[in-house]
Structure 1
């Protein structure tokens, strides 16, 4: 009887802990973000500020047809995700960011990253999901999820364990 009660309590606690993780979505589309810098000369460059959650903001950066994201923590500290160091080809972030939260506090970020990996045809892209752990003192890429039928679920699992995973590139 006591063992059954202990097992039931443990299962309830585990379910309650996992139920606290939720998702919120914010826009990364340049039409919905504030333009901070724009230079259309030469290769062109862009820096836009997009709303986040929990006091965070995202800066979308573009230069030479390649994009990256910087995470701005609530205190103003800027963390570079350095996507250009993961992929050298032409690239673009997707239109939405998914924030993983425990309660109201974001702890991970997921976003789509489309990369033109075929030098013969730049219009053919591979669509990755980038997973980054997020805290006021650190934000970095922990996983790059390749396309698959279970890509979204795999990215959420990776995000939910991201706090214990090392950065792919150290800050």
Structure 2
């Protein structure tokens, strides 16, 4: 009888883990165009863009280069510094941000951010551009490329 009860409990817990496992990863998109201008300097600016799941984005422009800072739900700033991490050449980010999300506890939670990053590869010829997909991992403690 104890063996049957133990097997029944094991089967129940195995089924419960399968039913309540995290959902597959899906995508949600937010716009990086038409964002609200919050600061402007001589050759710099910062725009506030809507994100997803409590996260927001700051689109930063300086010296003909662009990057993104992710603002977490608790207000912590996570500069991605794309202009240092990927390329120091003249650059721009794409028009959309892709949020990779999974369902946890009944809500969609971002686990990654993907943005297009176009960078000039030849300072003397601005038409020579390489396009990258920058992927930032999102955890509750840290966001990094």
Distance 1:131 1:138 in 2: 14
Question: Which residue is 1:49 aligned to?
Answer: 48
- Does residue 1:134 correspond to 2:132, yes or no? no
Question: Which residue is 2:82 aligned to?
Answer: 83
Question: Which residue is 2:114 aligned to?
Answer: 110
Name which of 20, 33, 36 aligns with 2:35: 33
Question: Which residue is 1:155 aligned to?
Answer: none
Deviations 1:2-48 (A, max 9, x none): xxxxxxx9xxx5xx85x52110000111xx21111112x2xx10101
Distance 1:47 1:123 in 2: 25
Q: Secondary structure at the match of 1:75?
A: coil
Alignment gaps of 5+ in structure 1: 1-8, 142-171
TM-score scaled by length of structure 1: 0.67
Distance 1:130 1:99 in 2: 12
Alpha-carbon RMSD: 1.9
Displacement of 1:138 = 0.7
TM-score scaled by length of structure 2: 0.79
Higher strand share: 2
After superposing on structure 2, the runs of 4+ consecutive aligned residues of structure 1 that deviate more than 2 Å are none
Q: Is the 8 A contact 1:94 1:112 kept in 2?
A: yes
Distance 2:32 2:77 in 1: 17
Distance 2:120 2:142 in 1: 29
Q: Is the 8 A contact 1:77 1:136 kept in 2?
A: no
Greater relative contact order, per chain length (Cα 8 Å cut-off, separation 6+): 2
Displacement of 1:119 = 2.1
Displacement of 1:140 = 0.5
Distance 1:80 1:89 in 2: 18
Displacement of 1:134 = 1.1
Q: Which has the larger radius of gyration?
A: 2
